[in-house]
Amino acid sequence: MIANPFSNLQSIEPLRIALFTKDDDIRSDAGAAQKIGASKAAALHQAHGNRVVVVRDELKRTEQADGMITDAPDLALCIRWADCQNFVVYEPKKKILGAMHVGWRCLRDGTIPSMFKLLKDKFGVNGEDCIVAGGPSLCMGHSEFTDPLDEIPNVPHEYVHDHLVDLRGWARGQLRDAGVDDSHVEIHPDCTRCRPDLYWTYRGGHREEVKQGHTNMLTCALLP
């Protein structure tokens, strides 16, 4: 377990964050919640879409969505990932917490805009009020596509470099469009495919293991 590696969120109470990696091999959402001091866990049937939901109680991977938001203490939000981007979103004044799984299809379909629309509609939270942290994911050098402009026709051309796509840069751009200041965004530097010794990575050699349920996990909670 890597306990809260994000400097911009380390000193904020009552927030708890942890990254569970290959060594942990965490497959139980309840187990992940317990390790960060929460008694309940919420997890999604991650659908590689753009749906975001509000959760206030346990959720056992039955809801098809890629993002969730809570204002409930003692509830761990659990996001599973191998190479996809994964984010914590936090508004410290109102103590509103969100978590997202953001693969390239989620970037294409708009998970990040959906997250900030729901934050505004349900909680009156604006992007400029939020702090965002992103966990390890594919670096641009390993974000390969056969034909990016055909496979992802809405990707801004500035993020396309021959057969490579700067997915992290695209996510930062969507966060910026949602009103989040660049100084409030922190992205973990590790690439999952560059570090198969540390992370489960679908593209980096663990395809069958990931299909069987071995994934990394980003877990966060508001504690009482």
What residues does each domain of the chain span?
A: 2-222
Check residue 205 and give its pLDDT. Answer: 86
Check residue 57 and give its pLDDT. Answer: 97
Check residue 59 and give its pLDDT. Answer: 97
Check residue 180 and give its pLDDT. Answer: 98
**Dihedral-angle region of residue 4 (phi above 0 means left; psi in -120 to 50 means alpha; beta otherwise):** left
The CATH homologous superfamily of the domain defined by 2-222: CNF1/YfiH-like putative cysteine hydrolases (3.60.140.10)
Residues in the chain where the model's pLDDT stays below 70: none
Check residue 98 and give its pLDDT. Answer: 98
Tokens 């809405």: give the residue.
154
Q: Tens digit of pLDDT for each residue in 85-143?
A: 999 999 999 999 999 999 999 999 999 999 999 999 999 999 999 999 999 999 999 99
How many residues in total does the chain contain? 224
pTM: 0.96
Taking residue 66's Cβ as centre, other Cβ atoms within 10 Å add up to 29
Check residue 19 and give its pLDDT. Answer: 97
- What are the distances in angstroms from CA 218 to CA 7, 73, 138, 172? 16, 17, 15, 19
